């Protein structure tokens, strides 16, 4: 079973280590790497520990369009994802696929009868 971390509308799924590919960004210790930012509030999901963020659509073909944010590689012992409205999430060393959760409306949920 996959190890999954959640913070608000963000899901981080631990995956096998893969080489960084596609668009690649790195931060310095203490400089926030923003994973996602709220459209209305401006609040952000961010990591201040040093990480590598890369975005490669070929690694997310099973994620619905528009929900894939990228992969985060944590090379140190841990990295902490923070957000102004949620408790911090501590990620152990490894690689994580990051995506937004989709909010379902009343018309999205349905029960199929036999």
Whether residue 109 lies inside any domain: the answer is: no
Q: How far is CA 39 from CA 21, 42, 43, 58, 111, in A?
A: 27, 6, 8, 26, 32
Helix (H) or strand (E) holding 33: strand 33-37
Residue 47 lies in a domain: yes
Question: How many distinct helices (H) and strands (E) make up the chain?
Answer: 0, 8
Whose CA is closest to 63, among 11, 5, 4? 11
Is residue 114 in a domain? Answer: no
- Label residue 30 by pLDDT band (50, 70, 90): confident
Please check whether residue 67 lies inside any domain of the structure.
yes
Indicate whether 16 pLDDT > 90: yes
Number of structural domains the chain divides into: 1
pLDDT at 89 over 80: yes
Secondary structure letter of residue 104 according to DSSP? P
As given in the structure block, the two tokens for residue 8 are 């608000």
Does any domain span residue 113? no
The answer to whether position 110 is within a domain reads no
Q: Which domain holds residue 20?
A: 4-100
Residue 9 lies in a domain: yes
Confidence of residue 38 (pLDDT cuts 50, 70, 90): confident
């Amino acid at each position: 079973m996959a190890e999954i971390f959640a913070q608000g509308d963000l899901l981080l799924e631990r995956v096998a280590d893969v080489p960084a590919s596609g668009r690649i960004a790195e931060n310095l210790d203490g400089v926030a790497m923003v994973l996602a930012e709220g459209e209305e509030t401006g609040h952000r999901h961010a990591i201040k520990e040093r990480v590598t963020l890369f975005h490669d659509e070929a690694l997310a073909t099973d994620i619905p369009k528009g929900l894939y944010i990228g992969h985060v590689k944590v090379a140190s012992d841990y990295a902490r994802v923070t957000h102004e409205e949620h408790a911090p999430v501590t990620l152990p060393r490894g690689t994580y696929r990051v995506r937004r959760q989709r909010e379902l409306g009343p018309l999205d949920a349905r029960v199929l009868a036999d």
